[in-house]
Amino acid sequence: MQKLQQLYEGKAKKVYATEDPNVVIVSYKDDATAFNGQKKGTITGKGAINNRMTNNLMRRLEAAGVPTHYIQELNDRETAVKKVSIIPLEVIVRNISAGSFAKRYGVAEGIVFDQPTFEFSYKNDDLGDPLLNTSHALALRLATREEIDLIHTYTMKVNDLLKGFLKEIGIDLVDFKLEFGKTADGQIVLADEISPDTCRLWDEKTHEKLDKDRFRRDMGGAEEAYEEVMRRLMGEQ
């Protein structure tokens, strides 16, 4: 598959056209950002880790009945995916209190919820990705009621599956962000990535943070944390 002109560059990835108008190549970068791009840096090797981890999890989710944009891993940093138009709703699921949830509602981190929370933010960097509810999403015509219902169904299934996959390797899924897109024929599929960039991951015994919070909070050891998640997930020594 041939990589043609660059179509897009985001904070963590570049997207290239291919000879197939319905297929693009995603290339993962080592660039790291936080606080809506205000903090910038590099986590060496994270592009390859996020690419391989995302693909591993997308394959598992697809096998369990969640449609995804994944087609084929091309190399450590590049993957062929279905070209989609991203629905401008970031979907956030929380199983344990942490981060902005703890700050917003004045609670401690680490409270295990009786059931997961589900929230949307409007995918718009200029506005700071504000929280919104279903009524707002419908008013702004970001998605239809049927699309929102389907996204909710897929998201809850992804949460159950990811919690199970990660529990097997001694990691708690604290919270995570998903994005969905529409293919050329109108199918809604899981897109973007599933990685320590987009998930909060804690060691289930020590509660050590194994995700981008190490970069956000200047804790150090981000590279080692990403490598540890990869090692456990892929069974690599």
- Counting as low any pLDDT under 50, the low residues of the chain are 237
| Claim to verify: residue 89 and residue 29 sit in the same structural domain | no
| Claim to verify: residue 47 and residue 109 sit in the same structural domain | no
List, in order, residues 6 or more apart from 169 with CB less than 8 Å away.
232, 233
Structure tokens, 18: 């291919």
Burial of residue 67 (CB within 10 Å: 0-12, 13-18, 19+) is middle
| Claim to verify: residue 61 and residue 114 sit in the same structural domain | no
Answer yes or no: is 129 within a domain. Answer: yes
For residue 45, give the CATH number of its domain: 3.30.200.20
Answer yes or no: is 1 within a domain. Answer: no
Structure tokens, 185: 């024929």
The structure tokens 């897929």 sit at 154
* Beta-carbon-side half-sphere exposure of residue 112 (alpha carbons within 13 Å): 5
The structure tokens 């004045």 sit at 106
Residue ending a domain, choose from 29, 63, 82: 82
Residues in the chain: 237
Given this model, what pLDDT does residue 236 score? 60
Answer yes or no: is 119 within a domain. Answer: yes
| Nearest C-alpha neighbor of 162 from the set 175, 150, 181, 152 | 175
* DSSP one-letter code for 111: P
* DSSP one-letter code for 144: -
* DSSP one-letter code for 17: E
For residue 208, give the CATH number of its domain: 3.30.470.20
Global pTM value: 0.94
Domain limits at 191? 85-221
The CA-based angle 135-137-140, given to 5 degrees, is 105
Answer yes or no: is 72 within a domain. Answer: yes
